[in-house]
Structure formats: C-alpha cells, structure tokens
Structure 1
C-alpha cells in the first residue's frame, strides 16, 4: 500500500494537468491559424466563407460557398475530371451554381465545365473575350447554348453580385493579349478582414498591368498563377499581394515540372505558407471574416 501512494499521486497530478490543458484549449480562438482535417467532410460553415481548391490533378478549379449558401465555381479541371467535378459538387451538396467563371479556354481549366453546366442549375456565366477552335471549348459553348444561357464578358472592373456580405471583383484581363494565359479572368473575393486572389493562368504581362492599374491586390490567400510556373508570380506581384497563404493547383509528377523550384523558393523567401493539391489533395479554407481554418484532404 505504501508503494502505491507515490504511484497514485503521480497519475492524479498528470490527470489534473490534462484536464487543465483541455479547459484552456476549449476557450481558445484561432486567429489566422490553421487546422488540418479531411476536406469535404462535415463542417460547420455557418457564417463562414468557404473557398475550396478542388484537386483535379494537373488543372484548376475553385468552388466558393458564401455564408448564405450562394455558390460560385471558377474553372472545372480537364476533360478527364468531369466525374470528379460532379462527385465533388454533389459531396458539398451543390445543386445550383449562381456564378460560373471559365478563366480562359485552356482544357485543364474548362474541360469539365460542359458536364457541370449540363447537370446543374446555372445562374450567370463569365468568360473572357477570347475564342479557341478546340473541341473542349466548343463543347462548353454547346452546353451553354443548350441551357439557353448567355456568356458575360470577364474583364477588369466588373463587380459580381454573389452575396451581399461578400465582395467579388474582377481585376483582369485589363486589355487584349496574344497569349491566352494572360487573358485569364483574375478574381478577388473578400469577406470581413480577409481576401482571396484567384489568378487562373495569368502570367507576368498581366501581373504587370494589374500592378499598373492601381487595383487593391493585397490578399491573405493567393492562388499561385499558372500552377506554379515560373512565368507567373513575379517578385513585384508577389510583394504587392503579400499573402499569408498560397495554394498551388498542380498534378503529381506532371510533365511541366509544376510547381517550379523558382516559385517555391520565392514563396518561401516571402514567408508564405504553401498548400498544394499534388501533395495534400483538395484544400479548403474557411473564414468568418476574422479567423482562418484550413483543411486538407491529406
């Protein structure tokens, strides 16, 4: 019995310390901090803006769900990701998209849009004034036509009416470019104190024009341009945006070498926390306008 007393004291003290720790944590709020869990799973999104960077391999797609339940889809991955897109939207309970944006005609951005448009109720569609003779682009246009929808021009200076509590504006394209990447629609989404800059495949030429335009580029979260290619995310642009977090949408072992070490080192030097679809799967960022919560699939 005598020998048991020190043993019991040790465990009672340890248990008390654990209870105290749990009590303290229960009263904490996370300001600008991250919490990783399975993206797409059950989550309390009440009063929060949700920005989901969908893992579509070597492509891009972002789903925005506002605090009131309004929805916006930017791009939809390549042609072979159509079912992934439909399954993902179903998983989030999405039956209607209030706004759809095809940033530019590249297949790895708009390849899945035709099936999304076919299967869901659609509000407004925005695409830049640039055409393509590819089957992918033509298929998207046919789906739009079948639904009796019209395409609005995606260009700088447009304010999108998505949700009264969320500000959505287009910052690019500012002019006509020969390279379709630079024709990418660039969208800034703001809620409370926090904002997201979603850049499509915009490259240095478009970035330079955005800098010259005097637009407010400052954002907490940056979708790294062109999947992390060194043709985008110029030093001047990155410094102006000054993000706390960055997301790179690229596929595992892709033939382009995305993301490049040049951009990864540039982001690291700037002190930016990076999330990647190729290593972490779908990434979801939630904010109540004051704090962040970041969830990764893996």
Structure 2
C-alpha cells in the first residue's frame, strides 16, 4: 500500500508529539552522572560549627547517626549548648573532646555532660585550677566517666566510614593553647582539620611529624589569632574552606588582619560565626555543601 505524503507527515507529527509528552517535565539535570558517585552509600556527614560567640564548638553527626562534640563555648553558653542539642536531636554523644582547659572552649561542657549521655571523653593531660575546669571534672565524675588522654597518634572509626585521627598535642607545652587536641576527620574524599587553639609551636610539631595534614575544611587556630595559622602550616593543609569561630566585638580583636590576609592570598573561602552564625557543612564523601545561619 502506498502512503501519501500528507499521511506520512501526519504520522511523523504524531510520533513527535508522543515523544514530547513522554519526556515533558524531565530536565537534563535530573539524570544522575553515572561517571561519578553522588555519595558514599547515599549517606552524609554533617559538621556544625556552632555559633557560641567568643568561643568554639563543633558538632559532628555521621551517616549512621554517631555523634561527636568538640568543645562547648564559654560558661554563659551552657543553655545555648543544650538548645543546640535539642535543635539537632542529639540524645547521646558517642565522643566528647575538650580540646584544652580554656573557659571559652570547655565552659559549656559540664551542662552538656549533665544532661546528655556520653560514651567516651578525651582531654589533654593538662590541669587548670579554675572553677570552670573543676566544674567540668565534677560533671565527668558524677556521670562515672573516665577521661582518656587526648594526644597525637590516637585514631578510631567514629562509624564504618568516618575516620578520626588525633594529630596533636605532640608533646608537653607550658602554654595550654599548644596542648590543644587537634583532630582530623575523614569521610570518603572529604576531610576536616579541627585545631582548637593550637599555636605556631604545635603547628611546627605537626609538620615535623609527617602526618597527612591536608584537609578540605580547616578550623582556623585560636580564633584567628596571630599566634596561629602560620603560612607553612596553611600551605600544607591547603584547605578550600576555612572557618573562624569568633564572636562579635570581641576584646581580643580576633580575627587578626594578618591572618585574614594570609587566607585571602591562598585563595581560601572564609566563613565566620560572627558574620554568618552557625555554619553547617555537609559531606556526601565526595563534595561539600555549606549552609550558613545568616
């Protein structure tokens, strides 16, 4: 049977209409890139740089729901910390790390420990005769916890896919800042270096140790003080992003302009609690997504 030209044209038009109807609503972006996995088993690691004013605190929640809290701001942030635990649905803490005895890092830890079950706690082997430190030790004792010594060389899996390494302190220092526990957290291809108040002396020891310091995200040491974030250390870590935990109108003048300039010259994108509030960084093991409070 011979098909007329008009009939042939009509058939082609109908086929085209069917194709348009079938694929309408689909965009190219909705199809996965099969050449590169979107995530490690489709699960994500969340790292919160909590806004505790002139202090520091980081909360990590792993893909399997394991939790780690590093520091908890100053004494006046106790309720703030409890509010954060409620906001992020933290009913237990698998690991707590008090990086060093300064009040702006451990001030809120006692109340957190009082109200949230803790499995393991790490602190460096350094004492302080402050009421803040004594209050923390009392809370630890009341919960029947035993403090494990935070020091370089420790490592553990927070869950099956999230690895934690403690890179400092490497020795004993008179300055408690240099006794800060420094932690590197790795998930898939992504890594975070969380530095406490570690200063140049501790940074030098970490460099000399030969440890793998490279990280995608770096917590800038000592709130952006001139005593930390030396150029050699910064170049070795080579982060894409830097976070400065600092409060508004702080009396210390943090972060220092020299440190900000150093970060800028290295092409590092900087996030700050005083300007952006709490900073949430999500890793799928391959890429990072950053959301700020403001």
The TM tier, using the shorter chain, reads 0.7 to 0.9
For 1:232 and 1:269, locate their aligned partners in 2 and report how far apart those are by CA, in whole Å: 16
For 1:28 and 1:141, locate their aligned partners in 2 and report how far apart those are by CA, in whole Å: 51
Say what the alpha-carbon RMSD is for the aligned residues: 1.6
For 2:49 and 2:26, locate their aligned partners in 1 and report how far apart those are by CA, in whole Å: 32
For 1:161 and 1:140, locate their aligned partners in 2 and report how far apart those are by CA, in whole Å: 26
**What residue number does 1:121 align with?**
117
Structure 1 unaligned segments of length 5 or more: list them. Answer: 1-19, 30-45
Deviation, 1:26, is 4.3
Q: 216, 219, 223: which one pairs with 2:219?
A: 223
Deviation, 1:21, is 12
Higher-Rg member (1/2)? 2
- Offset from partner CA, 1:112-146 (integer Å, 9 cap, x none): 00000000010000000000000000000000000
Question: Does 2:17 align with 1:23?
Answer: no
Question: Does 2:156 align with 1:160?
Answer: yes
For 2:138 and 2:165, locate their aligned partners in 1 and report how far apart those are by CA, in whole Å: 27
Higher RCO by CA contacts (8 Å cutoff, separation 6 or greater):
1
For 1:131 and 1:229, locate their aligned partners in 2 and report how far apart those are by CA, in whole Å: 23
**What residue number does 1:98 align with?**
94
- Offset from partner CA, 1:161-197 (integer Å, 9 cap, x none): 4212111010000000000000000000000001000
For 1:57 and 1:28, locate their aligned partners in 2 and report how far apart those are by CA, in whole Å: 41
For 2:146 and 2:282, locate their aligned partners in 1 and report how far apart those are by CA, in whole Å: 31
Structure 2 unaligned segments of length 5 or more: list them. Answer: 1-23, 34-41
Alignment of 1:198-277 (within 5 A): 198-277=194-273
Q: 184, 188, 213: which one pairs with 1:188?
A: 184
The verdict on how the C-alpha distance between 1:273 and 1:22 changes in structure 2, with shifts beyond 3 A counting, is: farther
TM-score, normalisation: structure 1 = 0.86
Number of residue equivalences: 264
For 1:25 and 1:267, locate their aligned partners in 2 and report how far apart those are by CA, in whole Å: 34
Deviation, 1:291, is 1.2
- Offset from partner CA, 1:71-124 (integer Å, 9 cap, x none): 000000000001110001110000100000000000000000000000001000
For 2:32 and 2:80, locate their aligned partners in 1 and report how far apart those are by CA, in whole Å: 37
Name the SS for the 2:158 alignment partner: strand
Name the SS for the 2:27 alignment partner: helix
For 2:99 and 2:135, locate their aligned partners in 1 and report how far apart those are by CA, in whole Å: 16
Question: Does 2:71 align with 1:75?
Answer: yes
The verdict on how the C-alpha distance between 1:273 and 1:118 changes in structure 2, with shifts beyond 3 A counting, is: same
For 2:268 and 2:26, locate their aligned partners in 1 and report how far apart those are by CA, in whole Å: 30
**What residue number does 1:174 align with?**
170
Name the SS for the 1:55 alignment partner: coil
Name the SS for the 1:163 alignment partner: coil
For 2:168 and 2:174, locate their aligned partners in 1 and report how far apart those are by CA, in whole Å: 15
Deviation, 1:23, is 3.1
For 2:25 and 2:210, locate their aligned partners in 1 and report how far apart those are by CA, in whole Å: 48
For 1:23 and 1:280, locate their aligned partners in 2 and report how far apart those are by CA, in whole Å: 33
Deviation, 1:259, is 0.6
